Structure 1
Amino acid sequence: MVPDRRDDTHLGCGGGLHYCLGTALARAEAPIVRTALARGLESPRLTADPRAA
């Protein structure tokens, strides 16, 4: 997952007639979930440099 990526044309939530009605809720909840997850980890650390790809 790359939150700041420029290409956001994925179809993860569908499109057109089949667009997911829960998309707005999922996007609103995402920061809350990330914060709760980070707080639940005892000693979080990166195993590799994400910029090295």
Structure 2
Amino acid sequence: MIPDLGKYAVAVLSSYAVTMGLIAVLIAVSLWRGARVRRQLAEIEARRNADV
């Protein structure tokens, strides 16, 4: 069930590829930043608990 894209096939398929790549990069960056923030919060809480 692949549609016939005619002369626009390269443009359409490359647009899909770029979009999927950008989504993958956004997901990876979000996961990386989330892990970094979690690690920083754990360090702050550990320092706070050590002071008490």
Determine if the TM-score, normalized by the shorter chain, exceeds 0.5.
no
More helix by share: 2
Give 1 or 2 for the bigger CA radius of gyration.
Answer: 2
Name the TM-score class by shorter chain. Answer: 0.3 to 0.5
- Structure 1 length as normaliser, TM-score? 0.34
